[in-house]
């Protein structure tokens, strides 16, 4: 019965028959001839510039923000995973264990838990998996269930909620902040909390997947039905109390990036081609989105060289999500070619246009169309590191 209901959930919305997975002819330099060892060296050298400013007692990098720190640790773990090495293991595990020990509910937003998952995947450290599962359990308290939508009340919120907005269900949405008066439900928390993290943890600890698939399908459907625009790009935030929305112009790479990653995992675990079809639609849209790139394919989002802000790290999340989709879809040549080409466009832009190696170390600008920076910009390294790491994987 449950399996049947999951199929019904997956088929609750239409999919396009075909996706445009072609590589645009206008993209700048969508391939690399650098060897595997060269690509590994470039990625590790960028990581080294960041570990030089890492406080492993808190898991924080000087010059970066709260959630951004976890993204660097994710990239460090992923490079070790892709290269089957332990080069960054001590820094990653030490930082993550310290962070989770210092703060109660440290990871209420999901970023640090996914870094812990990536660390577990790279090193087999069960303590890191436990950190991820603890966050998963915490975040699950802030999901809108069918019962919540029906009653108009979420048990951990002190305001009435809408069960549907604009005629579409709120079931499966995840509240952004674990505060009893915060009304925001957003796509990044939903993508992290339910679709990606839940499935990965359930799969790894061999728990009954059907227990977790239903809320994951609900969350995937929530984004598709309620928080995605007509161009297959994921929107940002919806207010569960009154259905007001963030501006339709708030199109950020990381929302689509994390959804791509989550859908890839959901399709891989379930074998349901409906989720694969949806993932392909979002990949096709996200890699050719005028909202954040020019005709040359280079991402222009988050290009502030004067001060750090959340936006400078968003595009790295898209690239990481695409790399996971590349890994989960070994039989889809067109998809993997598109993802590799898109990653290499960003990779070559960083190496050719947005870097400066005159200091002996290579510094990267958050403005990927250049010019290269005249000094070390921590958030420039942050934005670059996932591209450099993903280029190791998708060109293998």
- The 10s digit of each residue's pLDDT in 56-84 is 999 999 999 988 999 999 999 999 999 99
Q: What's the pLDDT band for 199 if we cut at 50, 70, 90?
A: low
pLDDT-derived band at 191 (thresholds 50, 70, 90) equals: confident
Phi–psi pair at 245, nearest 5 degrees = -125, 160
Q: Find out whether the peptide bond into 57 is cis, omega within 30 degrees of 0.
A: no
The fraction of the chain above a pLDDT of 90, given in percent, is: 73
Coil/strand/helix, residue 171: coil
Sole residue written with tokens 């890191």: 128
Q: Which residue has the higher pLDDT, 215 or 33?
A: 33
For residue 32, pLDDT over 50 is answered with: yes
Cα separation values, 58 from 44, 94, 383, Å: 22, 9, 21
Residue 4 banded pLDDT, cuts 50, 70, 90: very low
Average of pLDDT values for 187-210? 62
The tally of CA atoms less than 13 A away on the side-chain side of residue 294 is 10
* pLDDT tens-digit readout, 258-310: 999 989 988 887 788 999 999 999 999 999 999 999 999 999 999 999 999 99
The pLDDT assigned to 130 comes to 86
Q: Are 352 and 29 in contact (CB under 8 A)?
A: yes
Which residues form the domain of 154? Answer: 2-394
Assess contact for 67 and 309: CB atoms under 8 A. Answer: no
Rg value, the chain, Cα? 20
Q: Could you give the C-alpha distances from 278 to 43, 224, 292, 293, 328, in angstroms and in order?
A: 31, 9, 21, 22, 14
For position 311, which CATH number holds? 1.50.10.20
- Average pLDDT, integer, range 129-133: 85
In this structure, the dihedral spanned by the alpha carbons of residues 162, 163, 168 and 169, taken in order and rounded to 10 degrees, is 140
CA-based torsion, 283, 324, 178, 69: positive or negative: negative
CB 50 within 8 A of CB 92: no
Q: Count CA within 13 A, CB hemisphere, residue 201.
A: 29
**pLDDT: is 12 or 145 the higher one?**
145
pLDDT at 168: 96
In the predicted model, what is the mean pLDDT of the chain? 90
Buried b (16+ CB within 10 A) or exposed e, 126-162: eebbebbbbbbebbbebbbbeebbeeeebeebeeebb
Pick the range with the lowest mean pLDDT from 151-160, 187-196, 375-384: 187-196
Distance of CA 184 to the CA centre of its chain: 19
Q: Which of 236, 338, 235 is nearest to 283 (CA)?
A: 338
Question: What burial letters (b/e) apply to 293-303, b meaning 16+ CB within 10 Å?
Answer: beeebbbebbb
Tell whether the model's pLDDT for residue 14 goes beyond 80: no
Please give the tally of structural domains in the chain: 1
Q: Which two structure tokens, joined as six digits, stand for 20?
A: 């445009």
| pLDDT level of residue 169 (50, 70, 90 thresholds) | very high
**pTM of the predicted protein model:** 0.92
What is the tens place of the pLDDT at every residue in 317-338?
999 999 999 999 999 999 999 9
For residue 26, what pLDDT is reported? 98
């Amino acid at each position: 019965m449950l399996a049947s209901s999951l199929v019904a959930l997956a088929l609750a919305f239409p999919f396009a028959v075909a996706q445009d997975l072609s590589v645009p002819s206008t993209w700048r330099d969508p391939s690399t001839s650098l060897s595997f060892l060269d690509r590994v060296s470039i990625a590790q050298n960028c990581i080294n510039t960041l570990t030089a400013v890492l406080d492993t007692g808190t898991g924080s990098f000087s010059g970066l923000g709260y959630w951004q720190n976890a993204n660097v640790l994710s990239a460090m773990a992923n490079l070790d995973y892709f290269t089957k090495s332990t080069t960054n293991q001590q820094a990653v595990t030490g930082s993550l264990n310290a962070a989770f020990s210092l703060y109660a509910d440290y990871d209420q937003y999901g970023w640090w838990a996914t870094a812990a998952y990536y660390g577990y995947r790279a090193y087999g450290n069960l303590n890191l998996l436990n950190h991820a599962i603890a966050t998963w359990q915490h975040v699950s308290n802030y999901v809108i269930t069918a019962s919540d939508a029906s009653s108009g009340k979420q048990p951990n919120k002190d305001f009435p909620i809408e069960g549907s907005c604009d005629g579409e269900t709120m079931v499966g949405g995840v509240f952004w902040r674990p505060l009893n008066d915060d009304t925001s439900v957003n796509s990044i928390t939903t993508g992290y909390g339910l679709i990606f993290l839940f499935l990965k943890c359930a799969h790894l600890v061999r728990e009954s997947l059907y227990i977790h698939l239903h809320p994951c399908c609900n969350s995937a459907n929530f984004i598709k039905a309620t928080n995605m625009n007509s161009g297959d790009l994921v929107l940002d935030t919806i207010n569960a109390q009154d259905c007001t929305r963030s501006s339709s112009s708030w199109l950020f790479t990381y929302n689509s990036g994390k959804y791509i990653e989550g859908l890839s995992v959901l399709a891989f675990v379930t074998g349901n081609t409906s989720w694969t079809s949806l993932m392909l639609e979002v990949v096709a849209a996200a890699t050719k989105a005028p909202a954040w790139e020019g005709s040359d394919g280079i991402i222009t989002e988050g290009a502030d060289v004067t001060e750090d802000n959340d936006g400078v790290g968003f595009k790295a999340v898209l690239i990481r999500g695409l790399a996971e989709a590349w890994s989960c879809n070994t039989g889809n040549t067109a998809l993997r070619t598109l993802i590799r080409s898109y990653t290499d466009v960003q990779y070559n832009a960083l190496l050719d246009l947005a870097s400066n190696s005159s200091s002996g170390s290579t510094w990267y600008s958050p403005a990927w169309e250049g010019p290269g920076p005249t000094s070390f910009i921590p958030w420039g390294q942050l934005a670059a590191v996932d591209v450099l790491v993903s280029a190791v994987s998708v060109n293998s």
